[in-house]
Amino acid sequence: MKRRNFIRNTAVGSLALTGMTGTFSAAAASTQASNAAKFKLKYAPGFGMFKELAGDDPIDQIKFMNDQGFRALFDNGLMGKEPALQEKIANELARLGMDLGPFVLYADFKVKSMVTRDPEIREMLKNKMKDALEVQKRTGVKTALVVPGRYDEKLHWDYQTANVIAMMRMCCDIVGPSGLQLVMEPLNAHTDHPGLFLTTIPQAYLICKAVNHPSCKIVNDMYHQQITEGNLIPNINLAWEYIAAFHIGDNPGRKEPTTGEINYQNIFKHIHSKGYDGVLCMEHGRSKPGKEGELAVIEAYRKVDNF
C-alpha cells in the first residue's frame, strides 16, 4: 500500500488510539500522520503545541507527540518545573526513546550580564550553572541554553567580547565535567530583540573558538538567522563543529515550516545528509487556531521531512 494511502486510511484510527475525542472533518483527518512513521530528524514540539488534540497533561502530550512520529521534546521552562515533574517527564521520554532538547538556563534580555566584569553577575552565573547541574541529574538533559544579555553602549565591543569569552569559559568549567553543553543563542535585533549582544552565527562561532571548551556550543535558531543574515546553509556549514541544536520557525510570522520564505525541506535534507542526530526545537506558533492548526503543524512537518 502506498504511504499516502496508508496515512489516510489509518488517520481516524490513530486519533482514537491516542485517546482524543471530538469530531474531525474528513479533510482534517486525512492530514493526520501515521503513528508508525517516525520522522527522519528529531523535530521537537514543546508543551502546548498539541494541547487541543492531546489534552493538558504533559505526559499525555508526550505520548501524542510520539504517536505522531516525533522523536524529541523541548521545554524552555524545564528548569522552573518541580523536580518531581522533571523526573516524570524524563522517565516518559526514556520509556519512549525520545530525546530532550535544550532548556533555558539563563536568558535575561534586559540586563548587561556577560558583557561586563561585574562580580555579582559572575556569582549569579555560577549559581545558575549549579542549578542546571541538578536539572541534568534529574533528567539527563544534554544541552542548556544561555544568552549573554544586552550590549553596553559605553564599552568597546572588543572588551565586551573578551568579557563574554571569560564568562562562558567560567560557566563551561563548572558544567563541563558532567557533560552538559551550553548552547549560546544568537537572536535577531530587527524584529524581536533589539539591543542584545549576540546576534549572528559567525559571532557565536568566534566566541566558541576563543573559549575552546567542549561544553561551549551554539543553538542555531533559523528563524532569527534568516532575519539577521540569511545565508542559512553556508553558515550552518561554516559553524558546524559548534552547532549542538537548532530552533525552527518560518519567517515572516514565526509559524510552522511552509508558511513563510524559508525552504526548510532543503535545509533539513542538508542537515540530515551531514549526519545530524540532535534535536531541532519547534520554537514557533501555529498558522491556524484549534485542532485544525495542530493538524496543520503535523502535516507541514510531514511535507518538509519528505526528502
246-292: pLDDT as tens digits: 999 999 999 999 999 999 999 999 999 999 999 999 999 999 999 99
176-228: pLDDT as tens digits: 999 999 999 999 999 999 999 999 999 999 999 999 999 999 999 999 999 99
CATH class for the region spanning 38-304 = alpha beta
- Tell me what pLDDT residue 46 has: 98
CB–CB of 31/10 below 8 Å?
no
Closest CA to 283 of 43, 92, 64: 43
Helix count and strand count (H, E) for the chain: 12, 9
Whole-Å CA distances, 254 to 260, 280, 282, 285: 8, 15, 10, 6
Domain range summary for the chain, segments of one domain joined by +? 38-304
Query: Angle at CA 58, nearest 5°, toward 287 and 271?
Result: 55
Question: Of 14-18, 158-162, 208-212, which range is least confident?
Answer: 14-18
Structure-block grid coordinates of residue 117: 566584569
Q: How far apart are CA 76 and CA 142, in angstroms?
A: 13
